[in-house]
Amino acid sequence: MALSPTFPSLYKYGFATSRAADLLSKGSPTEIPHEEREVFSACSDLVERILKGREFLFGSNVEVHNLRPEDVEIFTFLLDTDRVTKKLAASSEEEVRRYFQEIYDTFKLLITNPRGVDEAKLGNTREFVNSIADSLIENARESLRRRQAEEPSAAFHD
């Protein structure tokens, strides 16, 4: 079984991607309130981690000064759970990089200039967050169940 992102990140990114999926399902945003910008910023952070993990696994001359183990875990998690990532990874490492770079750029544009977002790129980003949100939240639930099962039960005293 592949690694899964660390427990707190599962919730953070699961909820952020789920909320982003809801927001993006409403169509092209034109004005974005501060709360929604924070959601897109968290998603941007997730995709940045994915890009770093991809670069570490596939890239050459990679600087790993700011790389966290979680970055590689998240990318590995995607390779195991996201059908688009699996398909792209089977064809070309460069396609994987381009795919995630486009999603990253779309989130950045949603934060800074939502009117400038290309509809096709928005659709790809929407598809990504719809797919990954369910996987992250389900893994968060499973991690919580495992943690609860591993914790010793409180003893009952009469």
Q: What is the pLDDT of residue 42?
A: 93
Q: How confident is the model at residue 5 (pLDDT cuts 50, 70, 90)?
A: low
Instruction: Spell 65-100 as b/e; 16+ CB within 10 A means b.
Output: eeeeebbbbbbbbbbebbeebeebbeeeeeebbebb
What's the pTM?
A: 0.77
Give the separation between CA 71 and CA 55, rounded to whole angstroms.
10
Report domain extents, the chain: 7-137
Q: What is the pLDDT of residue 136?
A: 76
Instruction: Tell me the per-residue pLDDT of 11-66, one tens digit each, with 9 for 90 and over.
Output: 788 888 889 999 998 877 777 888 889 999 999 999 998 888 888 777 665 565 66
Rounded mean pLDDT, 132-156: 72
pLDDT at 2 over 90: no
Q: How confident is the model at residue 1 (pLDDT cuts 50, 70, 90)?
A: very low
Rounded mean pLDDT, 81-94: 80
Q: What is the pLDDT of residue 38?
A: 93
Instruction: Tell me the per-residue pLDDT of 105-142, one tens digit each, with 9 for 90 and over.
Output: 999 999 998 888 899 999 999 999 988 887 777 776 77
pLDDT at 145 over 80: no
pLDDT at 3 over 50: no
Show Cβ contacts of residue 62 under 8 Å, excluding neighbours closer than 6 positions.
Answer: 55, 56
